Structure 1
Amino acid sequence: MPTRYVDDFEIEFTAEPLPGTNKWGAYVTIHTQSANPMHLATVYPKHRVAADQSFASEAAAEAEAEKAGALTLAQLRSTKP
Structure 2
Amino acid sequence: MPIEQLGDYEVEYSGVKLPADNGDWAANVAIFGPSTNPMHRNPVFPSQRVLIDTVFPDEKSAEQEARKAAVAMLEHR
Fold shared, TM-score > 0.5 on shorter chain: yes
**CA separation in 2, counterparts of 1:37 and 1:49?**
27
Deviation at 1:37, TM superposition (A): 3.0
Q: TM-score, normalised by structure 2?
A: 0.89
SS, match of residue 38 in structure 1:
coil
The equivalent residue for 2:44 is: 43
For residues 69 and 6 of structure 1, what CA distance do their matches in structure 2 show? Answer: 9
Structure 1 counterpart of 2:64, which letter? A
Q: Which runs of no fewer than 5 residues in structure 2 stay unpaired?
A: none
CA deviations on 1:29-70 (whole Å, 9 max, x unpaired) are: 100122433201000111211111110011110010010010
Equivalent residue for 2:71? 70
Distance, in Å, in 1 between the alignment partners of 2:4 and 2:49 is 17
Residue type at the aligned position of 2:71: A
| TM-score under structure 1 length normalisation | 0.85
| Cα separation, 1, equivalents of 2:60 and 2:17 | 12
Question: Which structure's residues are more often helix, by fraction?
Answer: 1
SS in 2 for 1:12: strand
**CA RMSD, Structure 1 to Structure 2 (Å):** 1.1
Q: How many residue pairs are counted as aligned between the two chains?
A: 76
Letter in 2 for 1:49: V
- Match for residue 17 of structure 1? 17
Could you tell me how far apart the structure 2 residues matched to 1:71 and 1:6 are?
11
Q: Is the 8 A contact 1:33 1:39 kept in 2?
A: no
